[in-house]
């Protein structure tokens, strides 16, 4: 079945366009509600959101959809995506919903769905919901319409859970930490977690107004946090994205520390303590070859999946791994959650920092990444990767890199982009093959 609504991370698009309208959101609520109405208990869904202006509209539409098919709704207000996954399990809900377009600008929004186990939905569940979206919903009788309520303690529940992810004897006293919340979902909880553990917190990106999410702040716009770390003499900077499932770190020198280095640190520390399971780390095809070489030097493995944290999670579950993630900053620590959690990953980094005698620039530089280049080519329609000239350009690039590097070509699951990535020991060669493929895609687009 061809997917019309679901991409690699739920449903996402420009607000009030195509799939991201209130009408579609209501249908999603009806379809997902009907799909998860199993058993005779009173059915329940937890709905959270980030700080986008359109979040109110999408929340109201989803509530209408779920209640119309007889499902009760619990609304949390702005909370990180991992908090919604946690609360879905904790509150014995049948379904969890996060309204967010993650690191995208405010004009976009999205709907992420979690099953009762707190994990993102399987392909089978998504396809079943897609099929129901084309069917007339079976509406509940008037006496069976669902009820909706907001809960006031959701933030406190998440803050408590996040702090439980590190040892109770760890304090962050003496650390000065810049925490950039991207004007997003973690703007209250992330600074609170780190402050409660004793650190001096300098907050950034914590004044959302509905339209400034990810605007010049957060894990995809690091200039502001780099400047603030240098200006304040902070020991480290923590940058989250709009829904706080990603983490990028800035060291005391203002240098970027990506997800590969963070995974290397977390996995190494856990392996030293006998806490790492699966014998290594799960990451995607985008992770740097330097990470793979470093893990091998430590007697650990790197298993690669397709891009998308859902695929990382699937492999982690299959292989019994408890650490996985993406170079872009999704950090999945299976012992503490069922999806990426930037705040929890940040606490692992901060814990390691206070327990070492090293500055962040030393602690978080465990390997030298090989030259890697990623470029995006936007297209208006069609299927550029099916073009004969593009296929030939890709084949030529792969032949040139054979034995000396890697080439990864993929279509974005959330935007009309072709992503072209190459890496290898020869930076000039890497740039040459990436440009050749990009030129071919542009010509075909």
Reported as a single tens digit per residue, the pLDDT across 75-125 is 999 999 999 999 999 999 999 999 999 999 999 999 999 999 999 988 899
Asked if the structure places residue 234 within a domain, the reply is yes
Does one domain contain both 353 and 380? no
The verdict on 45 and 127 lying in the same domain is yes
DSSP string for 194-239: HHHTT-EEEEES----SS-TTSS-STT--HHHHHHHHHHT-SEEEE
CATH of the domain at 426: 3.30.310.50
* Domain finish residue from 325, 346, 363: 363
CA separation for the pair 206, 188 (Å, rounded): 7
- How far is it, in rounded angstroms, from Cα 384 to Cα 417? 10
Question: Quick one: pLDDT at residue 198?
Answer: 97
| Same domain membership, residue 390 and residue 268 | no
Q: What is the tally of structural domains in the chain?
A: 3
Q: 99: which residues sit within 8 A by CB, 6+ positions away?
A: 47, 48, 49, 50, 52, 55, 58, 59, 62, 109, 110, 111, 112
Check if the beta carbon of residue 199 is closer than 8 Å to that of residue 224: no
The answer on 194 and 89 residing in a single domain is no
> Same domain, yes or no, for 349 and 379?
no
Catalytic residue (one of 100, 102, 203, 219): 102
Q: Which of 250, 248, 247 is nearest to 235 (CA)?
A: 250
Q: What is the CA 108 to chain-centroid distance, rounded?
A: 16
Domain match, 215 and 285 both: yes
Q: Is 272 contained in some domain?
A: yes
CATH at residue 133:
3.40.120.10
Domain assignment present for 1: no
* Residue 1 reports pLDDT greater than 70: no
Global confidence as pTM = 0.90
Assess if residue 3 is contained within a domain.
no
In terms of domains, do 249 and 333 share one? yes
Condensed to tens digits (0 to 9), the pLDDT of residues 314-332 reads 999 999 999 999 999 999 9
For the packed helices 154-163 and 81-90, what is the interaxial angle rounded to 10 degrees? Answer: 100
Same domain, 141 and 233: no
- Please report the pLDDT score of residue 2 as a whole number: 62
DSSP single-letter state for residue 134: T
Same domain for 191 and 273?
yes
In this predicted model, what pLDDT tens digit does every residue of 189-231 receive, in sequence order? Answer: 999 999 999 999 999 999 999 999 999 999 999 999 999 999 9
Among this protein's residues, is 167 annotated catalytic? no
Question: Chain centroid to CA 144: how far?
Answer: 36
Same domain, 215 and 326: yes
Domain assignment present for residue 37? The answer is yes
Q: Do 192 and 330 belong together in one domain? A: yes
Report CA-CA distances (Å) from 419 to 162, 290, 305: 34, 20, 16
Average pLDDT over the chain reads 95
Residue 202 belongs to some domain of the structure: yes
Residue 412 structural domain: 372-444
Question: Helices (DSSP H) in 22-164: which residue ranges?
Answer: 22-35, 55-68, 81-90, 123-133, 154-163
Q: Is 283 a domain residue?
A: yes
Helices (H) and strands (E) in the chain, counts: 14, 18
Q: Select from 97, 120, 152 the last residue of a domain.
A: 152
Question: Are 356 and 378 part of one and the same domain?
Answer: no
Read off the pLDDT of each residue in 168-193 and give the average, rounded to a whole number.
Answer: 97
Percent of the chain's residues with pLDDT above 90: 89
Quote the radius of gyration of the chain (alpha carbons, Å). Answer: 22
26 within some domain: yes
Between helix 22-35 and helix 55-68 the angle, nearest 10°, is: 40
């Amino acid at each position: 079945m061809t997917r019309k609504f679901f991409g690699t991370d739920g449903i996402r698009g420009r607000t009030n366009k195509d799939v991201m309208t209130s009408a579609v959101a209501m249908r999603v609520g009806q379809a997902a509600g009907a799909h998860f109405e199993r058993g005779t208990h009173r059915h329940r869904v937890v709905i959270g959101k980030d700080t986008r202006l359109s979040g109110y509209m999408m929340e109201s539409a989803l509530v209408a959809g779920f209640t119309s098919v007889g499902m009760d709704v619990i609304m949390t207000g702005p909370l990180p995506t991992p908090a919604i996954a946690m609360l879905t399990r904790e509150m014995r809900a049948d379904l969890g919903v996060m309204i967010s377009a993650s690191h995208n600008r405010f004009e976009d929004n999205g709907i992420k769905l979690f099953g009762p186990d707190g994990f993102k939905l399987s392909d089978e569940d998504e396809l079943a919901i897609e099929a129901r979206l084309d069917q007339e919903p079976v509406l509940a009788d008037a006496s069976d319409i669902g009820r909706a309520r907001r809960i006031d303690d959701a933030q406190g529940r998440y803050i408590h859970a996040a702090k439980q992810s590190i040892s109770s004897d760890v304090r962050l006293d003496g650390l000065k930490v810049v925490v950039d919340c991207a004007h997003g979902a973690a703007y209250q909880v992330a600074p609170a977690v780190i402050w409660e553990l004793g650190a001096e917190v300098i907050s950034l990106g914590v004044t959302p107004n509905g339209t400034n999410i990810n605007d010049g702040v957060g894990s995809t716009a690091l200039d502001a946090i780099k400047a603030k770390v240098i200006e304040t003499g902070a020991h480290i900077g923590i940058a989250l994205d709009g829904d706080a499932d990603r983490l990028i770190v800035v060291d005391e020198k203002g240098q970027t520390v990506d997800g590969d280095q963070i995974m290397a640190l977390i996995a190494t520390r856990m392996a030293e303590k006998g806490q790492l399971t699966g014998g290594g780390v799960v990451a995607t095809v985008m992770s740097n070859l330097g990470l793979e070489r470093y893990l091998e030097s430590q007697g650990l493995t790197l298993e690669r999946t397709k891009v998308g944290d859902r695929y990382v999670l699937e492999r982690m579950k299959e292989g019994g791994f408890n650490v996985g993630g993406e170079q872009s900053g999704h950090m999945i620590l299976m012992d503490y959650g069922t999806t990426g959690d930037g705040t929890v990953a940040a606490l692992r980094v901060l814990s390691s920092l206070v327990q070492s005698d090293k500055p962040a620039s030393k602690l978080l530089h465990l390997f030298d990444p090989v030259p890697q280049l990623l470029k995006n080519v936007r297209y208006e329609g069609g299927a550029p990767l099916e073009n004969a000239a593009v296929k030939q350009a890709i084949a030529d690039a792969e032949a040139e890199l054979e034995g000396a590097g890697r080439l990864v070509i993929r279509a974005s699951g959330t935007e009309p982009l072709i992503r072209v990535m190459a890496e290898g020991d020869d930076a000039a060669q890497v740039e040459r093959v990436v440009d050749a493929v990009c030129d071919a895609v542009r010509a075909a687009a």
